[in-house]
Amino acid sequence: MCVRPACGVGGHMVLVTGATGFVGSALLARLQRDGIVVRAAVRKLGHTISPDVQCVRVADLGPDTDWGHALSGVEIVVHAAARVHVMHDGLADPLSAYRQVNVAGTLNLAQQAAKAGVRRFVFLSSVKVNGEATEQGLPFFADGLPAPCDPYGVSKLEAEQGLRRVAAETGMEVVFIRPPLVYGPNVKANFLTMMRWLDRGVPLPLGAVHNQRSMVALGNLVDLMVVCLYHPCAAGQVFLVSDGEDLSTTQLLSRLGEALGRPARLIPVPSGWLEAGARIIGRQVVAQRLLGSLQVDISKTRTLLGWVPPMSVAEGLRQTADEWLASQRRH
């Protein structure tokens, strides 16, 4: 039986890649608060990172990147850098581009990390390794059969498979975390678009959507990542993560509107009508995200690590809304 340590990693050096990104910057702030010695790998110096954090400039993530200076003295690597998912990727061969960064770049880092004596490598993967959608009430499980549907998901799965080989060959511990939609302060993409719609009072035909989707507040994801730095049971495991409360799109918009102080104007249009309209205009992918279900089961994460999401959905939405409203006042 594994027992969660009473304290963190102490003076052990943690290297964070993707340190200026949405997740990486939040992780840096948390590690600092916890008194953990942290180093940030950045593509260029001058980012607004705390002066207490040591920054090391590293070239773009790729198969030939030199990580020697960044890995010196490091015991744990958290790899959050990636070529992120793009909704409308215009490249002729997007899978090749994802593989160059997310697979070859990741494995190059891992091999150099193992050679440098890194003990543990925490890899921020994606629920897209599991797939794009679930039947309502039939969630993805951490150890279920992977079924990625797009180039990004394929690249993350291939990176996981390669990291397992590196771990087997070198003895370096590897941990895999697969988050679904992450939201929180400074969120971008579709979640930001929804906040803008709600703030402007745009009527939305999403008042009768009865899907179920798992999400994870940024604070909850970061908390799990910190646990995975040192927990003895985390080594070699895949973990799914969520807030522990799934919402329909209708519920999400209603609750996000409350957090913004802008009641959502939702029109109850049947989901079947919306799906048919999306097919006509070629927006099936967007419709799937708004109308389809994607649920994850986090019982393994809870049981093996003793982890409970420290932040409720209500608090996560409130923090997200408060930061966005404050940013609007600043501009």
CA angle 34, 79, 54 (to 5 degrees): 50
The one catalytic residue in 98, 152, 183, 230 is 152
98 in active site: no
Whether 109 and 47 have beta carbons less than 8 Å apart is answered as: no
Q: At a CB cut-off of 8 Å and minimum separation 6, what does 230 contact?
A: 5, 8, 9, 76, 120
Closest by CA to 159, choosing from 108, 89, 233, 91, is 108
β-bridge mates for residue 87, sequence order: none
66 burial (CB, 10 Å; 0-12 / 13-18 / 19+) is: exposed
**Neighbour-count burial of 243, counting CB atoms closer than 10 A to its CB (0-12 exposed, 13-18 middle, 19+ buried):** buried
HSE of 176 in the Cβ direction (CA atoms, 13 Å)? 25
Q: Known catalytic residues?
A: 152
